Structure 1
Amino acid sequence: MLRLEGYLLWQAEVEQARKEAEAMADRLEWLTSAQREAVVDCFAERQLQLSRRFLERTALRARSLRGEYEQRYALLRARLCALTLLGFTAAVLLLCLVAGR
Protein backbone atom coordinates (compact mmCIF):
# COMPACT_ATOMS: atom_id res chain seq x y z
CA MET A 1 0.00 0.00 0.00
CA LEU A 2 2.84 2.40 0.82
CA ARG A 3 4.44 1.86 -2.58
CA LEU A 4 1.20 2.67 -4.34
CA GLU A 5 0.75 5.76 -2.21
CA GLY A 6 4.33 6.83 -2.91
CA TYR A 7 3.83 6.28 -6.62
CA LEU A 8 0.64 8.33 -6.65
CA LEU A 9 2.26 11.12 -4.65
CA TRP A 10 5.20 11.23 -7.04
CA GLN A 11 2.89 11.28 -10.08
CA ALA A 12 1.06 14.25 -8.54
CA GLU A 13 4.46 15.91 -8.05
CA VAL A 14 5.34 15.30 -11.72
CA GLU A 15 2.03 16.77 -12.83
CA GLN A 16 2.46 19.82 -10.58
CA ALA A 17 6.02 20.41 -11.83
CA ARG A 18 4.80 20.25 -15.40
CA LYS A 19 1.96 22.71 -14.70
CA GLU A 20 4.34 25.15 -13.03
CA ALA A 21 6.79 24.82 -15.91
CA GLU A 22 4.08 25.50 -18.45
CA ALA A 23 2.82 28.51 -16.48
CA MET A 24 6.35 29.90 -16.37
CA ALA A 25 6.86 29.29 -20.10
CA ASP A 26 3.55 31.00 -20.86
CA ARG A 27 5.05 34.23 -19.52
CA LEU A 28 7.79 34.01 -22.14
CA GLU A 29 5.56 34.78 -25.11
CA TRP A 30 8.46 35.30 -27.50
CA LEU A 31 9.55 31.63 -27.36
CA THR A 32 9.05 29.43 -30.39
CA SER A 33 7.14 26.17 -29.88
CA ALA A 34 10.37 24.15 -29.77
CA GLN A 35 11.99 26.62 -27.36
CA ARG A 36 8.91 26.63 -25.18
CA GLU A 37 8.89 22.84 -24.98
CA ALA A 38 12.60 22.82 -24.12
CA VAL A 39 12.07 25.41 -21.37
CA VAL A 40 9.10 23.46 -19.97
CA ASP A 41 11.09 20.22 -19.96
CA CYS A 42 14.12 21.85 -18.34
CA PHE A 43 12.10 23.68 -15.68
CA ALA A 44 9.97 20.63 -14.87
CA GLU A 45 13.09 18.45 -14.57
CA ARG A 46 14.68 20.99 -12.22
CA GLN A 47 11.53 21.12 -10.08
CA LEU A 48 11.47 17.33 -9.86
CA GLN A 49 15.13 17.25 -8.83
CA LEU A 50 14.37 19.72 -6.05
CA SER A 51 11.31 17.72 -4.99
CA ARG A 52 13.31 14.49 -4.94
CA ARG A 53 16.02 16.03 -2.77
CA PHE A 54 13.41 17.43 -0.40
CA LEU A 55 11.65 14.06 -0.13
CA GLU A 56 14.95 12.24 0.43
CA ARG A 57 15.89 14.66 3.23
CA THR A 58 12.44 14.27 4.76
CA ALA A 59 12.64 10.46 4.60
CA LEU A 60 16.12 10.50 6.14
CA ARG A 61 14.92 12.70 8.99
CA ALA A 62 11.87 10.48 9.51
CA ARG A 63 14.08 7.39 9.78
CA SER A 64 16.35 9.22 12.22
CA LEU A 65 13.41 10.30 14.37
CA ARG A 66 11.97 6.81 14.29
CA GLY A 67 15.25 5.41 15.61
CA GLU A 68 15.38 8.04 18.35
CA TYR A 69 11.79 7.36 19.40
CA GLU A 70 12.29 3.60 19.35
CA GLN A 71 15.33 4.00 21.63
CA ARG A 72 13.43 6.26 23.98
CA TYR A 73 10.44 3.91 24.03
CA ALA A 74 12.67 0.92 24.84
CA LEU A 75 14.28 2.85 27.71
CA LEU A 76 10.91 3.93 29.11
CA ARG A 77 9.56 0.38 28.80
CA ALA A 78 12.60 -0.98 30.68
CA ARG A 79 12.17 1.63 33.42
CA LEU A 80 8.47 0.84 33.75
CA CYS A 81 9.19 -2.89 34.02
CA ALA A 82 11.85 -2.26 36.65
CA LEU A 83 9.57 0.02 38.67
CA THR A 84 6.70 -2.47 38.42
CA LEU A 85 8.95 -5.30 39.60
CA LEU A 86 10.24 -3.11 42.44
CA GLY A 87 6.67 -2.25 43.43
CA PHE A 88 5.57 -5.89 43.48
CA THR A 89 8.66 -6.84 45.47
CA ALA A 90 7.95 -4.10 48.00
CA ALA A 91 4.29 -5.19 48.26
CA VAL A 92 5.25 -8.84 48.82
CA LEU A 93 7.85 -7.83 51.42
CA LEU A 94 5.30 -5.66 53.19
CA LEU A 95 2.73 -8.48 53.18
CA CYS A 96 5.32 -10.89 54.58
CA LEU A 97 6.18 -8.45 57.38
CA VAL A 98 2.52 -7.86 58.24
CA ALA A 99 1.73 -11.60 58.14
CA GLY A 100 4.72 -12.37 60.38
CA ARG A 101 3.38 -10.26 63.27
Structure 2
Amino acid sequence: MAGRRRPPRARAPRQGGPTGGGRGESRLGLARLEGFLAWEAEVAAAERDARAFAEQFPWLPAAERESLEQAYTADRLRYAEEVVDRAVERCRRLAARYRAECRRICGRWAALCLSVTLAAALLAVVPAVLRG
Protein backbone atom coordinates (compact mmCIF):
# COMPACT_ATOMS: atom_id res chain seq x y z
CA MET A 1 0.00 0.00 0.00
CA ALA A 2 1.34 3.44 -0.86
CA GLY A 3 2.23 6.00 1.76
CA ARG A 4 4.02 3.88 4.34
CA ARG A 5 5.22 5.97 7.21
CA ARG A 6 8.71 5.70 8.54
CA PRO A 7 9.28 3.71 11.71
CA PRO A 8 9.45 5.70 14.95
CA ARG A 9 12.70 7.53 15.55
CA ALA A 10 15.56 5.29 16.58
CA ARG A 11 16.88 6.05 20.01
CA ALA A 12 20.30 7.56 20.35
CA PRO A 13 23.08 5.16 21.30
CA ARG A 14 24.13 5.18 24.94
CA GLN A 15 26.92 7.47 26.03
CA GLY A 16 30.12 5.90 27.26
CA GLY A 17 29.62 2.57 25.53
CA PRO A 18 32.27 0.64 23.67
CA THR A 19 33.71 2.65 20.82
CA GLY A 20 35.64 0.00 18.98
CA GLY A 21 32.79 -2.09 17.67
CA GLY A 22 32.17 -5.45 19.27
CA ARG A 23 29.21 -6.48 21.33
CA GLY A 24 27.80 -2.97 21.81
CA GLU A 25 27.38 -2.40 18.10
CA SER A 26 26.05 -5.93 17.63
CA ARG A 27 23.38 -5.35 20.26
CA LEU A 28 22.48 -2.01 18.75
CA GLY A 29 22.27 -3.56 15.29
CA LEU A 30 20.08 -6.38 16.56
CA ALA A 31 17.84 -3.90 18.39
CA ARG A 32 17.45 -1.86 15.22
CA LEU A 33 16.67 -4.98 13.19
CA GLU A 34 14.12 -6.05 15.78
CA GLY A 35 12.55 -2.59 15.71
CA PHE A 36 12.42 -2.60 11.92
CA LEU A 37 10.77 -6.02 11.84
CA ALA A 38 8.26 -5.03 14.52
CA TRP A 39 7.39 -1.88 12.58
CA GLU A 40 6.98 -3.82 9.32
CA ALA A 41 4.68 -6.25 11.15
CA GLU A 42 2.64 -3.28 12.38
CA VAL A 43 2.45 -1.86 8.85
CA ALA A 44 1.29 -5.24 7.50
CA ALA A 45 -1.33 -5.57 10.25
CA ALA A 46 -2.57 -2.02 9.62
CA GLU A 47 -2.89 -2.69 5.88
CA ARG A 48 -4.65 -6.02 6.51
CA ASP A 49 -7.10 -4.41 8.95
CA ALA A 50 -7.67 -1.50 6.56
CA ARG A 51 -8.62 -3.93 3.77
CA ALA A 52 -10.98 -5.78 6.11
CA PHE A 53 -12.55 -2.49 7.17
CA ALA A 54 -12.97 -1.26 3.59
CA GLU A 55 -14.56 -4.57 2.55
CA GLN A 56 -17.50 -3.70 4.80
CA PHE A 57 -18.44 -1.08 2.22
CA PRO A 58 -18.86 -3.02 -1.05
CA TRP A 59 -20.97 -0.26 -2.61
CA LEU A 60 -18.03 2.16 -2.63
CA PRO A 61 -16.15 2.51 -5.90
CA ALA A 62 -12.69 0.94 -5.93
CA ALA A 63 -10.92 4.31 -5.83
CA GLU A 64 -12.86 5.45 -2.78
CA ARG A 65 -12.33 2.13 -1.05
CA GLU A 66 -8.58 2.42 -1.69
CA SER A 67 -8.65 5.96 -0.34
CA LEU A 68 -10.46 4.69 2.75
CA GLU A 69 -7.82 1.96 3.18
CA GLN A 70 -5.02 4.51 2.91
CA ALA A 71 -6.65 6.83 5.44
CA TYR A 72 -7.27 3.95 7.86
CA THR A 73 -3.69 2.71 7.50
CA ALA A 74 -2.22 6.19 7.95
CA ASP A 75 -4.33 6.81 11.04
CA ARG A 76 -3.41 3.45 12.56
CA LEU A 77 0.31 3.96 11.89
CA ARG A 78 0.18 7.47 13.31
CA TYR A 79 -1.39 6.04 16.47
CA ALA A 80 1.21 3.23 16.64
CA GLU A 81 4.01 5.75 16.29
CA GLU A 82 2.55 7.84 19.11
CA VAL A 83 2.34 4.75 21.33
CA VAL A 84 5.97 3.87 20.62
CA ASP A 85 7.11 7.45 21.22
CA ARG A 86 5.24 7.55 24.57
CA ALA A 87 6.81 4.23 25.60
CA VAL A 88 10.29 5.44 24.64
CA GLU A 89 9.80 8.65 26.58
CA ARG A 90 8.56 6.71 29.62
CA CYS A 91 11.63 4.45 29.41
CA ARG A 92 13.91 7.47 29.27
CA ARG A 93 12.25 9.04 32.32
CA LEU A 94 12.49 5.78 34.25
CA ALA A 95 16.13 5.31 33.28
CA ALA A 96 16.97 8.83 34.47
CA ARG A 97 15.11 8.23 37.72
CA TYR A 98 16.87 4.91 38.31
CA ARG A 99 20.28 6.44 37.54
CA ALA A 100 19.63 9.21 40.06
CA GLU A 101 18.48 6.69 42.67
CA CYS A 102 21.54 4.52 42.03
CA ARG A 103 23.84 7.53 42.46
CA ARG A 104 22.09 8.39 45.72
CA ILE A 105 22.41 4.85 47.06
CA CYS A 106 26.07 4.61 45.97
CA GLY A 107 26.77 7.90 47.71
CA ARG A 108 25.22 6.62 50.93
CA TRP A 109 27.19 3.39 50.74
CA ALA A 110 30.42 5.30 50.15
CA ALA A 111 29.68 7.53 53.16
CA LEU A 112 28.90 4.48 55.30
CA CYS A 113 32.09 2.68 54.22
CA LEU A 114 34.16 5.80 54.85
CA SER A 115 32.56 6.22 58.30
CA VAL A 116 33.23 2.59 59.24
CA THR A 117 36.83 2.83 58.02
CA LEU A 118 37.36 6.07 59.92
CA ALA A 119 35.82 4.60 63.09
CA ALA A 120 38.01 1.48 62.81
CA ALA A 121 41.10 3.65 62.34
CA LEU A 122 40.20 5.76 65.35
CA LEU A 123 39.56 2.68 67.47
CA ALA A 124 42.97 1.35 66.47
CA VAL A 125 44.81 4.65 67.11
CA VAL A 126 43.08 5.96 70.24
CA PRO A 127 44.17 3.11 72.61
CA ALA A 128 47.77 3.46 71.42
CA VAL A 129 47.68 7.23 72.00
CA LEU A 130 46.15 6.81 75.46
CA ARG A 131 48.82 4.29 76.50
CA GLY A 132 51.68 6.22 75.60
TM-score (norm 2): 0.68
The structure richer in helix per residue is 1
SS state of the match for residue 59, structure 2? coil
Decide which moves more: 91-100 or 26-35. 91-100
Which residue identity is paired with 2:67? A
| Aligned twin of 1:46 | 75
Residue 122 (structure 2) aligned to one of 82, 90, 93: 93
Residues 15-41 of structure 1 deviation map (CA, whole Å, 9 limit, x = unaligned)? 111111111112112222222211111
SS of structure 2 residue aligned to 1:51: helix
The one of 15, 19, 30 equivalent to 2:48 is 19
Confirm or deny that 1:80 pairs with 2:109. Answer: yes
Please give the per-residue CA displacement for 1:62-100, whole angstroms capped at 9, x wherever unaligned: 111111111111111111111111112212222334566
User: Which stretches in structure 1 are left out of the alignment for 5+ residues?
Assistant: none
Q: Which has the higher contact order (CA 8 A, sep 6+)?
A: 2
The amino acid across from 2:118 in the alignment is T
Letter in 2 for 1:79: R
- Alignment of structure 1 residues 28-67 onto 2, 5 Å: 28-67=57-96
Stretches of structure 2 lacking an aligned partner (at least 5 in a row): 1-29
**Separation in 1, partners of 2:100, 2:44:** 39
Which amino acid letter does the alignment assign opposite residue 18 of structure 1?
E
